[in-house]
Structure 1
Amino acid sequence: MKKLNKISRRSFLKAAAYSAAALSALALTGCSGSASTAGSASGSEGGFKVGIVNYVDDASLNQIVASLEARLDEIGAEKGVSFNYGDYYSNAQADQSNLNQIGADLVADGVDVIVAVATPTAVTMLNAVEDTEIPVVFAAVTDPAGAGFEGLDNITGTSDALDTHAIMNLILAANPGLDKMGLLYDLGQDSSTQAIADAKAFCDENGIEYIEKNGTTTAEVQMAVEALAAAGVKVVFTPTDNTIMTAELAIYETMIEAGMQHYTGADSFALNGALLGYGVDYVQLGEATADMVAELLCDGKTPAELPYRTFDNGIATINTETCAALGLDYDTLAVAFEPYCTEVQPIATAEAFE
């Protein structure tokens, strides 16, 4: 995994990267058009300028970016074109002022497309391109309709919509007779809103008490976990919440010590120590996002012609080290989970995917 810059790594179009006449010829033959006036020029003179904006540095979102960039490289080689994302990558570190500045910078740079990773990023980038023809392709927006993206002509992308009911079934399969559940999330994360509402409805329907704890920083999340432990909670649910994802490495040992099983909405949580992650394959999502970028820039499609994509939520990822530390048996859990998912796979604790 490459080291991500805090806000932006701009080389302001280094001459050496854009002087090769061969790239110009390839771009002309490989792609038929681009999405903006600025894009037509860059697409034929030095490769398409692809702005990629990551919301925060965490295992899930970093995996999307890595997959997206790798797929763009593949498509570029296949089509004989150049996608320049290296000079237009930014990581906002979950800071709204950073997002605003990044959006303004990318518009000033005349990028051909902006790839916005996570909901807050997509909302900000959509505002940034309001008076331009630059399209936005979002990645990992959990609820595109709730974010207000449906019916708009200049935005499309990929959704990591979570099947909360499926995770609830996994929880009950491992904990029959469960009567109390913790809900750990950030109130400010749009990606958590619907999933938490669904979890509450499930608990109400099944006579399960739920205790909510929230945090907006890692320190606050740590205190929330300690409060859940003090309340005697043994099972905790977190959706695809970027704040909790960022904090997972700091909280998983505390949860293990308290005997808490953490069920979450992405395999990256399990990578960082949670008992289980369930949901979208983010490598596949990143690749699909790159494919949509290529359709816009190379095939002359418009965002309105490309409905946003969703994916099957079928992979349950169990952290084998956490499983053992909690006194659970991996094979037993895998058998219990099989009726409720398409695949069960093991993972060990690490900071990032290799």
Structure 2
Amino acid sequence: MRRIVWGAAALLLAGGVAAPALAQAQKVAITAIVDHPALNAVHEGAVAALAKAGFNDGKEIAVVFESAQGQPATAVQIARKFVGERPAVVIGISTPSAQALAAATKTIPVVFSAVTDPVGAQLVASAEKPGGNVTGVSDRAPIDDQVALIRELTPDVKTVGVLFNPGEPNSVTSVRELKEAAEKVGLTVVEAPATKTAEVQGAARSLVGKADAAFVPTDNTVVSALEAVSGALVAAKIPLYAADTDSVARGALASVGFNYRQVGEQTGELAARILKGEKPGDLPVRFAQGTDLYLNKGVAAKIGVTLPEAALARAVKVVD
């Protein structure tokens, strides 16, 4: 388990000069299911938004962070530990971490982030009126846009393999939505499940000969091992699409979605409102917005895909 203590606590250990601030600071506890670029960007964005709202780490608040390193059981332990420390608000990044926090307390405000289906995950009663002590930001991916992108860049594709962990509720929702969107345009979806990181590369290799393209939803298990996925698929000349735009720099061919730093900023804004006295149950769930296009020209060249000039022209970022 990784534990980081930021700001006031670190200053206190360094020399005691921050003791008065720490005594008055409210604790904000943040946890994520695993370390990978998208979730790390959420964490950074949340802390930045809190500071912008007047809650600076080391002054008005003391931020602590722990990662469950991909282990749901560890996420539960972290949640219970945090609740025992009585923070002013807890932030759970990813569905497993948010569920662990929500199960551990019915009184401490919980703000979730990067959760695809908060209602389906039983975190809130409804997006409009969450109720209880939980609200947050959903990263429900624009699946229709992803399918349209697959058809635009690789029009000959007939079968799409989807890599996901069936134990992650967010991924199950994404796979269902992918199948519905694919059926509308005549594409077939082949599932390639992986229940843990060690199985991800094998799941990717299983798509060789079965799928013309592959897609990775916002699945923490698979995204954590994305380089293994992209390596296997590039070798087989299978284009890889991802719901997470950060995955393009890590070997995916393309993605259309939103900036996870901005998702974190929205999360921090909700946490700040709670720190100022609003009740989480009264704050509607926010949904991440964005249709930013990311492309990887290097991967395209390796797998023999010619990227259309129209796509290159509208891309927010092109990786060489």
- Whether these two folds match at TM > 0.5 is yes
Whether contact under 8 Å (1:162, 1:313) holds in the other structure is no
Taking structure 1 as the reference length, the TM-score comes to: 0.81
Residue deviations 1:120-160 (CA, integer Å, cap 9, x gap): 11111011113xx2100001111111111124320001110
Moved over 4 A (4+): 10-15, 77-81
1:89 to 37, 45, 65: 65
Q: Provide the rounded CA distance (Å) in 2 between the counterparts of 1:161 and 1:267.
A: 13
Aligned-partner SS, 1:138: strand
Identity of aligned residues (%): 28
For residue 103 of structure 2, the aligned residue among 115, 127, 133 is 127
1:205 to 184, 189, 194: 184
How far the C-alpha of 1:223 sits from its partner, in A, is 0.8
The aligned residue for residue 321 of structure 1 is 298
Structure 1 gaps of 5+ residues are 1-5, 24-41, 350-354
Offset of residue 321 of structure 1 = 1.8
Confirm or deny that 1:48 pairs with 2:23: no
AA partner of residue 19 (structure 2): S
* Shift in alpha-carbon separation, 1:177–1:321, aligned structure 2, 3 A: closer
1:35 is aligned to none
Please report how far the alpha carbon of residue 329 of structure 1 lies from its aligned counterpart in structure 2 after TM superposition: 3.6
Quick check: 2:295–2:312 contact (8 Å CA) kept in 1?
no
| Contact 2:161 2:215 (8 Å CA) reproduced | yes
Q: How far does residue 60 in structure 1 lie from its aligned partner after superposition?
A: 0.8
Equivalent residues of 1:7, 1:102 under 8 A apart: no
CA contact (8 A) 2:31 2:67 kept: yes
Deviations 1:325-354 (A, max 9, x none): 222344x1x51488xxxx5223438xxxxx
Q: What is the CA distance between 1:80 and its match in structure 2?
A: 11
Distance 1:252 1:80, change over 3 A: closer
SS across alignment from 1:76: coil
- Secondary structure (helix, strand or coil) at the match of 1:294 reads helix
Q: Determine the structure 2 residue equivalent to 1:141.
A: 115
Q: How does 1:141-160 map to 2 (within 5 A)?
A: 141-148=115-122, 149-150=124-125, 151-160=130-139
Q: State the secondary structure of the residue aligned to 1:8.
A: strand
1:1-354 to 2 correspondence within 5 Å? 6-9=1-4, 14=12, 16=16, 18-20=18-20, 23=21, 45-76=23-54, 82-85=60-63, 88-130=64-106, 133-148=107-122, 149-150=124-125, 151-231=130-210, 233-298=211-276, 300-330=277-307, 332=308, 335-336=310-311, 344-348=315-319
Instruction: Tell me which protein shows more strand as a share of its residues.
Output: 2
Distance 2:19 2:56 in 1: 21
Q: Cα distance 1:262–1:17, how it changes in 2: closer, same or farther (>3 A)?
A: farther
Structure 1's 176 and 250: CA in aligned 2 closer, same or farther, altered over 3 A?
A: closer
Bigger helix share: 1
Structure 1 residue 218 displacement after superposition:
2.8
What is the Cα deviation at residue 316 of structure 1? 1.5
Q: C-alpha separation between the residues in 1 aligned to 2:4 and 2:59? A: 22
Is contact 1:76–1:83 with CA below 8 Å preserved after alignment?
A: no
Equivalent pairs, count: 310
Greater Rg by CA: 1
Equivalent position amino acid for 1:204 in 2: E
TM-score normalised per structure 2: 0.89
Structure 1 SS opposite 2:248: helix
State the secondary structure of the residue aligned to 2:231: helix
Shifted more, 159-168 versus 319-328: the winner is 319-328
Match for residue 36 of structure 1? Answer: none
How far is the alpha carbon of 1:75 from its aligned partner? 2.9
Deviation at 1:53? Answer: 0.4
Deviations 1:73-111 (A, max 9, x none): 3333789952210xx210011212211221121112111
Looking at structure 2, the residues matched to 74 and 205 of structure 1 have their Cα atoms a distance apart, in angstroms, of 44
Stretch moving more, 154-163 or 184-193: 184-193
Q: What secondary structure sits across from 1:328 in the alignment?
A: coil
Alpha-carbon RMSD across the aligned residues, in angstroms, is 2.5
Counterparts of 2:278 and 2:60 in 1: how far apart (Å)?
A: 18
